[in-house]
Structure 1
Amino acid sequence: MVRANILAGALAGLFPLCLATPANSPVQDNLLPRQGAPPSGSGTGGYPATYFEDPTLPLHTIYMPLQPPSNTTLPVLLWGNGNCVGDGLAYKDFLLQTASHGILIIANGWVTPIPGREKSPRDTTKDMAYFTDSIAWIQGQAGKPGKYETVDAELLGASGHSCGGLQTIEMRSDKRVKMLASFGYATRESVWAREIKVPVGFFVGSLDTSIAMPQIQGAWPELPATTPAWWGTFPNLGHGGTFNSPNGGVWAISFAKWVFFTLKGDPQAAEYFKGKGATNHGWEVKAKGLDGVPVKEL
């Protein structure tokens, strides 16, 4: 089963999320060999990352540094897959790259085959309990001796692509969520944007033929004036962006910077979005209210 087959058909059938299926939809090739492949360090950030399944959180896949840094805390990301597929490896390279910068990611979907449950069909992780269960779980694990000792569950953001982007926006009123990052999706109803009070980033390709672009165009003016918001459009890319590029491409780099800007107040990451960093990387940018994000002094 090749990359173009798993999410390609799924994206075309997702309720109103996608009207057409781009050729570069984020899916993975040769799923069965990957299921058995041992996790290995990956990503180009400072902390080579890995993925694994934790038996205390069924139906999810964890991405994090192989050796978490002892001198800094790890923020937490919830991740929802395109088409809400139940595949914890659907965005493997992108999420490993993001995690390698010092981030813990809880992705919806599993790796090991589960008797009676297929791993990849669409909508299998659309229930919002996949996100809310992740929050409850990491709140119970963060700070305990062991691999999650340096995780800060208060620094938590929701993120995802396409159907996962819908799930991201659905978390807009959850007080535990401090940031939103939606790829290839905005709001099903424009007025939902009025309820977004935390920093929100919209990431989209200029050739995205789904409903993402009109959604963002409708949601953008509805955002409250006090909501920090960033809208990046990347030229000549479709719905799948750079998810299939080596190490997740520029979208993974920008995503990690968005996390560190909005959740940790990193000044260099802030400058990427408030200055020329994102545009120099190729993004066409709209932004407003970004001064509302607290930033640490250099």
Structure 2
Amino acid sequence: MEMDLTLPDHTVYRPAELPPGVKIPILAWGNGGCANIGNSSEPFLREIASHGYLAVASGPIAQRPPREEAAGRDAPRPVRDANAPRATRAPNSPRPAQSNNASLTAAIDWAIAENSRPGSKYEGRLDTTKIAVLGRSCGGLQAIAIGADPRVKTVIVINSGIIRGGVPQPDGSLEQRQYIPAGVEDLAKLHTPIAYFVGGHTDQAFRGSEADFLIIDKLPLFNGNMDVGHGGTFRQPDGGPMGKAVIDWIDWQLKGDKEAAKSFVGADCRLCRDPKWTVKKKNLR
């Protein structure tokens, strides 16, 4: 994990040693909460990079990343009383810094430019024809929005889905958000295989992801749910089983890994057989 002087508002994850004679694919990552904190998902992005990817996350490295993304911690979250009053932000108080959709585009632009820049450590080392956009929660919506980019080869949406009417809360209410990175209209602009990894009925993104599945008809589409809630398994070492599924997807889509494809393809796919997963899909071959 490092920051690069040529891309000061992002954080770069890469293999410790770039493999000789191999061009590695490019990933643009949108953080949970659309936070502009490049190490908010550090453990998982380090794991992805170790599999031979350049992953670029929105935001610089923060000295103290958000607690919910802390490395290797899988402590249960406290249960919030649905009848308890909600905490409110004081009037005119600053909101946490957020990234925007352009952050993911900037990550892609930078990686492509570095691949051809003389003297760059990435000169000739990146496969600019193999690019994925992915993100978690709000960052998943950013990935959907940027998925229209013709340079993108696949989109991965994690604990996310288009918000319709508001964000579902534990008490059944819908919370309105000022910043919504993508809408239903963006689904029609997608042109690549797309995978959703969601935390089951208790995931606030469940309803949106299910509605997205009904709308997306012509593209290869995978939808996998684990009953783990909105946090997924990403606080577990290496991202847990959801993290492994994400890596299998990008290994298949960007590297043509036939063994990784077995997690998704066919009625007897690996995730189809795993009782922890509920799987549905369209147009996957």
2:78 is aligned with 1:78: no
Residue matched to 1:195: 189
Stretches of structure 2 lacking an aligned partner (at least 5 in a row) = 67-93, 164-182
Q: Work out the CA distance in 2 between the residues paired with 1:221 and 1:242.
A: 25
CA distance in 1, matches of 2:41, 2:273: 25
2:135 match: 160
Does residue 1:251 correspond to 2:242, yes or no? yes
- Rounded to whole Å, the distance in 2 between the matches of 1:187 and 1:107 is 21
Q: How does 1:5-24 map to 2 (within 5 A)?
A: none
Aligned length: 234
Q: What's the offset of the Cα at 1:123?
A: 6.0
- Equivalence for 1:105: 55
What SS is found at the alignment partner of 1:158?
strand
CA contact (8 A) 1:77 1:159 kept: yes
Q: What is the aligned partner in structure 2 of residue 206 from structure 1?
A: 200
Amino acid at match of 1:274: V
| More divergent stretch after superposition (249-258 vs 139-148) | 139-148
The verdict on how the C-alpha distance between 1:92 and 1:280 changes in structure 2, with shifts beyond 3 A counting, is: farther
Helix, strand or coil: the match of 2:187?
helix
Partner of 2:84: none
Q: What is the CA deviation profile of residues 159-218 of structure 1, one whole-angstrom value per residue up to 9, with x for unaligned ones?
A: 0011101101111321111110011112234454233221111111114342x1111111
CA distance in 1, matches of 2:253, 2:137: 21
**Which residue of structure 2 lines up, in the alignment, with residue 266 of structure 1?**
257
Corresponding residue number in structure 1 for 2:87: none
Matched-pair identity in %: 33
Which residue does 1:151 correspond to in 2?
A: 126
- Equivalent residues of 2:58, 2:99 under 8 A apart: no
Alignment of 1:1-298 (within 5 A): 51-111=1-61, 124-142=97-115, 147-148=121-122, 149-188=124-163, 189-210=183-204, 212-225=205-218, 227-235=219-227, 237-275=228-266, 276-281=269-274, 282-291=276-285
Asked whether the 8 Å contact 1:233–1:283 carries over to 2, the reply is yes
Superposed CA deviations along residues 86-143 of structure 1, whole A, max 9, x for unmatched, are 2111111111111111111001111167xxxx98786634322211111111111125
Shift of 1:248: 1.4
For residues 289 and 206 of structure 1, the distance between their equivalents in structure 2, rounded to whole angstroms, comes to: 22
TM-score, scaled to structure 2? 0.76
- Look up the SS of the partner of 2:251 in the other structure: helix
Q: Distance in 2 between matches of 1:270 and 1:147?
A: 31
How many Å separate the matches in 1 of 2:234 and 2:139?
Answer: 14
Q: TM-score, normalised by structure 1?
A: 0.73
> Which whole-Å CA distance do the structure 2 matches of 1:141 and 1:125 have between them?
25
1:185 aligned counterpart, secondary structure: coil
- Contact 2:39/2:65 (<8 A) preserved: no
Tell me, yes or no, if the aligned pair for 2:224 and 2:278 is still in contact at 8 Å: yes
Aligned pair in 2 of structure 1 residues 217, 207: CA closer, same or farther (>3 Å)? closer
After the TM superposition, which of the residue ranges 121-130 and 104-113 deviates more from structure 2? 121-130
Tell me, in whole angstroms, the C-alpha distance in 2 between the residues paired with 1:166 and 1:147.
31
Q: Which structure has the bigger radius of gyration?
A: 2
In structure 2, give the amino acid aligned to 1:135.
I
CA distance in 2, matches of 1:170, 1:252: 22
Range with greater deviation from structure 2 (131-140 or 192-201): 192-201
1:190–1:245 CA distance, 2 compared to 1 (3 A): same
> Unpaired segments of 5 or more residues in structure 1?
1-50, 292-298
Deviations 1:268-289 (A, max 9, x none): 1112211422234532111111
Given that residues 78 and 159 in structure 1 are in contact (C-alpha distance below 8 angstroms), is that contact kept between their aligned partners in structure 2?
yes
What root-mean-square deviation, in Å, do the aligned CA atoms of Structure 1 and Structure 2 show? 2.2
